[in-house]
Amino acid sequence: MNEERRRLAADLYAVSREHDRAQGDRLARFRNVEPDTAALLGVLIRATAARRILELGTSNGYSTLWLADAAEATGGRVVSIDLDAARTELARVNLRPAGLIERVELRSEDAALTLARSGDAAWDFVFLDAERSAYAAYVQDLVRSLAPSGLLAVDNVRSHAHELTEFTALIESEASLTQSVVPVGAGLRLAVRGTEPRPAA
């Protein structure tokens, strides 16, 4: 990420934190991913050369900015979903000065619907950061719509492990995924979809 975008991302994060501090209602907060986690997502997209990128939970576009910056590097695009149309618009406003609006399709939609309508193997990279109580119901479509070697990243798996017990049990029983929980930020589950074994190099 270049210096100009880093500054925009840092400013947006600071404004969001200030906003969130004043909100009593959890759902009224923007709840941006931690900067270290956002940066790691950017590394992973580049490392895997992911081009078809899905974000579930746009909020005001902080994480989207990092995903879109990485998509620019891989020649890819981001589809980012939020249930709240006002947040979708706010994300649009926040992405524009970064020059990244062309890289992103912002949609006001229920994540469950997006996943159900996603084709098999449709996504190279999925970042799941929406409403945790719904995640267990997403597992089947998440796995189905992930491409072979595709990567799923799920935030808050350490900070809110107690809310994710059903999801965790379901996803960990998926034989097609190889997984690890990375102790960055609020805890990031990474799951890569398997491929057919290849001949040795």
- What is the binding site for ligand SAM (CB under 6 A)? 31-33, 56-57, 59, 62-63, 81-84, 87, 110-111, 129-131, 134
Shortest distance, position 157 Cβ to ligand SAM, whole Å: 13
DSSP 17-62: HHHHHT-SSGGGS--PPPHHHHHHHHHHHHHHT--EEEEE--TTSH
60/78 Cα distance (integer angstroms): 15
Number of Cβ within 10 Å of residue 181's Cβ equals 15
Q: Select 131 or 194, whichever has its Cβ closest to ligand SAM.
A: 131
Shortest distance, position 172 Cβ to ligand SAM, whole Å: 22
Q: Select 38 or 199, whichever has its Cβ closest to ligand SAM.
A: 38
Shortest distance, position 72 Cβ to ligand SAM, whole Å: 18
Shortest distance, position 139 Cβ to ligand SAM, whole Å: 15
80 forms beta bridges with: 55, 106
Q: What 3 state SS string does 131-190 have?
A: CHHHHHHHHHHHHHHEEEEEEEEECCCCCCHHHCHHHHHHHHCCCCEEEEEECCCCCEEE
Shortest distance, position 176 Cβ to ligand SAM, whole Å: 24
Q: What is the DSSP letter of 97?
A: G
Q: Select 90 or 198, whichever has its Cβ closest to ligand SAM.
A: 90
Q: Select 95 or 147, whichever has its Cβ closest to ligand SAM.
A: 95
Q: Select 95 or 195, whichever has its Cβ closest to ligand SAM.
A: 95
